[in-house]
Amino acid sequence: MNRQRGSRPFWGRLVKRAIDLLGASILTILLLPVIAGVAALVWLFLGRPVFFLQKRAGLGGRIFTIWKFRTMTTATGDGRPLADAERLTPFGRLLRQTSLDELPQLLQVLRGEMSLVGPRPLLPEYLDRYTPQQARRHEVKPGITGWCQVRGRNALSWEEKFRLDTWYVDHWSVSLDLSILLQTVLVVLRRDGVSHGSDATMPEFLGTQQHIIPISKGRRMEPLVILGAGEFGREVAWLVDEINRAAPEPKWNLLGFLDDSPNPLAEFSHYPPLLGRPEAYRTLGRPFAVCAVANSGTREALVARLNALGARWATLIHPTAGIGMGTQIGEGSILCRQAMVTVDATIGRHVQLNVNSAVGHDARLGDFCTLAGFADICGRVVLERGVYVATHASVLPSTVVGAWAQISAGSTARRRVRPGMTVVGVPGKEFFFPGANVARAA
């Protein structure tokens, strides 16, 4: 794991630290009788030691010792500790339900090891099991409470927890912290999500199932970014993975995604990170790029934005795609699994051929054309710039489809289709829908 200091600006860390010092000081003074009372009850019901101490990973992956009130007995069976469910006492369960076992951590907030709000600190063994996205939870200090604590606590899966943790890292603000603190009071009073299913505690995190590409010891892997982090962007990430796996040595080092949305990958922790808006490309050292946006007009506009920054474009071809003799494929184009282009065809720049799409002999596809899954382009067809052919649609032999036209799902185009028109039905009829397929991004 890369153990760097959190990426939040200095002023943000300063404000958060000031809130932590003020809040923890006030809470420690107000709750001092409660802390003393709980310590006495733990000693009475569970004996010594009163505190449970354990190593945890904090900011940047640095290891520290967390303090809690003890909630379990030290009972053993055959010389080994019993299962958590057997050692957790009714009194200990009450402490957990009310989060009173976490009160000693107020002192750790004052010491600067923790924050009032942040991802909960986990075991150091987990550091090497995180995906790069999950590891971002260590860009901030761990907290006594956090975003996932008010969204389900231990009732959430590990992947859900990490998704919420990274969302918090990306969206931190003073108002968000105050909101989480207020919501924590309600969650504690309702005793929501204290246990995970039938378990007394969360099961061990064994890692997220993901594709792991071995590091090439031969040729240098080329850096690559994906422009667009939506559904097709995630599919292109999978395509890159399969290209690397099929090659004798991996070719592409996928750095992450560029997208105008603030965090389109918030629900997914097993993909490379969002690197920022498209303009962040200039800070990445001019890696190769590929645009994974289905809408032809939007794709054209995004490509223009990156071209203004001196972009280098990759062409991605799935190992199972078929390419006939004499066929030419332009830069930035994507050929997905089982896509087929027969002989002497010409594929323009930034064209997308989705799963099981087919292009016949001598066909010509202009720049920014898109074929959805199972689309069928027959021989000698001409698709002018930006044409979109939907799933299971067909374009009959020698048909010319004008620029920015669209062939609807299951429809058949024949003869000549005028620019900007939408073909619907079998046989296809032309209709004009303003804005179809030409929604260019600003």
What string of DSSP letters covers 237-293?
Answer: HHHHHHHHHHSSS--EEEEEEE-SSS-TTTT-SSSPPEEESGGGGGGTTS-EEEE--
5 pLDDT higher than 60: no
Task: Write out 371-430 in H/E/C secondary structure.
Answer: ECCCCEECCCCEECCCCEECCCCEECCCCEECCCCEECCCCEECCEECCCCEEECCCCEE
The answer to whether 277 and 262 have CB atoms below 8 angstroms apart is: no
- How many angstroms separate the CA atoms of 87 and 181, rounded? 30
pLDDT tens per residue, range 14-53: 899 999 999 999 999 999 999 999 999 989 888 888 898 9
The answer to whether 280 and 246 have CB atoms below 8 angstroms apart is: no
pLDDT tens per residue, range 253-270: 999 999 998 777 767 777
Q: Is the Cα dihedral 136, 141, 147, 149 positive or negative?
A: positive
Helix (H, G, I), strand (E, B) or coil at 212: coil
pLDDT number for residue 156:
74
pTM of the model: 0.54
pLDDT tens per residue, range 417-429: 999 999 999 988 9
Query: Could you tell me which residues come within 8 angstroms of residue 208 by beta carbon, excluding any fewer than 6 positions away?
Result: 129, 130, 131, 134, 158, 159, 162, 269, 270
Q: Give the lowest-confidence range in 7-11, 165-169, 244-248, 276-280.
A: 7-11
Q: How confident is the model at residue 186 (pLDDT cuts 50, 70, 90)?
A: confident
The answer to whether 71 and 92 have CB atoms below 8 angstroms apart is: yes
Question: What is the dotted CATH code of the domain comprising 316-431?
Answer: 2.160.10.10
Q: Is the Cα dihedral 240, 286, 292, 7 positive or negative?
A: positive
Q: Where are the domains of the chain?
A: 10-190, 222-313, 316-431
Q: How confident is the model at residue 248 (pLDDT cuts 50, 70, 90)?
A: confident
Q: How confident is the model at residue 75 (pLDDT cuts 50, 70, 90)?
A: low
193 pLDDT higher than 60: no
Q: Regarding predicted confidence, which is higher, 129 or 202?
A: 129
Check for a shared fold between 222-313 and 316-431.
no
222-313 to CATH, choices 3.40.50.10490, 3.40.190.10, 3.40.50.20, 3.20.20.80: 3.40.50.20
pLDDT tens per residue, range 199-226: 445 677 877 654 334 434 445 689 999 9
Percent of the chain with pLDDT over 70: 86
- How many angstroms separate the CA atoms of 213 and 216, rounded? 9
Please give the average per-residue pLDDT across 373-401, as a whole number: 96
